[in-house]
Amino acid sequence: MLRLILFILILLILDFYTFQAFKVTFKSQIVTYIFTFLSLVVLGNFFYQIFTFDRSNGIQFQFSLALILLVLFYVPKIFIAVTLLGEDIFRFFSYGLENDVRTSIEGGTTLGGRRKFISQIALGLAALPFASILYGVFRGKYNYKVLKYTLHFDDLPKAFDGYKLTQISDIHSGSFDNVEKVKYAVDLINEQQSDVILFTGDIVNNRAEELVPYKDVFGKLKAKDGMYSVLGNHDYGDYVAWESEEVKKQNLEDLKVLQKDIGFDVLLNESRYLEKEGERIALVGVENWGAGGFKTAGDLKKASSVIDKDDFKILMSHDPSHWEKKVIQDDYHYHLTLSGHTHGMQFGIEIPGWFKWSPVKWRYKYWAGIYEELGQYINVNRGFGYLAFPGRVGIWPEITVIELKKGSDNA
């Protein structure tokens, strides 16, 4: 309840500053009041959808629309509020509270003119995220990016020097609304001509039937050394009120069959060897293991029970919190872990090679891209699809290509 009150308070503060910006900038009060009315409608609709939302029925269009409108209306207001708050702080220290009040009473124009100028700047700044969000909803969710990395390992078997793998994650097929865009992405994956394709979970939102319209599309994925997958938290159907436990179990079995029909070897706390020229690397796949209330079906010991401790190992584990909490401290030393789950929150700012930020960093320490700890690497894929918010702003859908190289990267 405290979080809800704080959330509402923040929204009201944003509305307060936005109202000021509109009132000062526009001569006609009609514009100000129309915008304020629309904001209240958006806010009211959002809370209505929140309080009537039944997750067991999946994410409905009405909820997604309410979320789009909330983000579209209120994220830009953050820019307005921060700008005007900065002006208020400046006014306080520059003029003093007493002088500020006196100027207002006497009808001085200096402060008013400056306020209008600052308000115009604030509205101009707000237009940037507004346009970005619109782009993210209509185009960004299919703005696929191929991100390429080269990782060096001294103990990589020589035969695998230059070995390429493609990772995809978080397809969430139940969210798609454009099959042609998905076909384009599948072609893009195949164009990488990687030796193996690895999928790290959440192929659906809730139900196996979501994958059926895209079965043939993903069935066109090809890799000479095969395709492997693991389950993510959404694949188990835990967020649906099923008729019975048997129906829920059957849904999971149907999902496994569909993945196999596509061509994936589904690893359920299991391992496989990838072999080349008489040498091999171990591919380990665990079921979902997540911190903070997510399913913990992953069993790392069981999955690695038939491989050797000294093998070069690639681990597929949907949730990066597994790597943080369990994997990097394991004495088996997993050279490379592949995860997804975070989506990069589908919202953030990235300048490749320079800067990346998303609010999801406050929830996950490892949330997007390559990280190294204790001589082990993880790649957290930003996701292929999208969930809840039907768009991506600054954090684009990702196809990861990783090339393994033997030796030091300084060689």
Distance of CA 160 to the CA centre of its chain: 31
**Region of residue 383 (left: phi > 0; alpha: psi -120 to 50; beta: else):** left
Amino acid code (one letter) for 166 = T
pLDDT of residue 56: 64
Number of H helices, E strands in the chain: 9, 14
pLDDT of residue 60: 78
pLDDT of residue 108: 46
**Region of residue 164 (left: phi > 0; alpha: psi -120 to 50; beta: else):** beta
Each residue of 37-81: pLDDT tens digit? 999 999 999 988 888 877 666 677 788 899 999 999 999 999 999
Q: Please list the rounded mean pLDDT of every run of 10 residues in the chain (411 residues).
A: 85 91 85 88 90 74 89 94 88 61 47 70 94 96 97 97 98 96 98 98 96 97 98 96 95 98 98 97 98 94 96 98 96 97 96 91 96 97 96 97 90 52
pLDDT of residue 148: 97
Instruction: State the fold for domain 144-406.
Output: Purple Acid Phosphatase; chain A, domain 2 (3.60.21)
pLDDT of residue 18: 92
pLDDT of residue 99: 56
**Can you give the residue ranges of every domain in the chain?**
2-138, 144-406
pLDDT of residue 110: 47
Residue 52 burial (CB count, 10 A) = 9
State pTM to two decimals.
Answer: 0.90
User: What is the DSSP code string of 264-289?
Assistant: EEE-SSEEEEEEETTEEEEEEE---B
Amino acid code (one letter) for 59 = I
* β-sheet bridge partners, residue 275: 280
d(CA 215, CA 212): 5
pLDDT of residue 92: 74
Query: What is the helix (H) or strand (E) element at residue 330, kind and residue range?
Result: none
Task: Provide the pairing of β-strand 349-351 with 398-406.
Answer: unpaired
Place of tokens 């990702």: 398
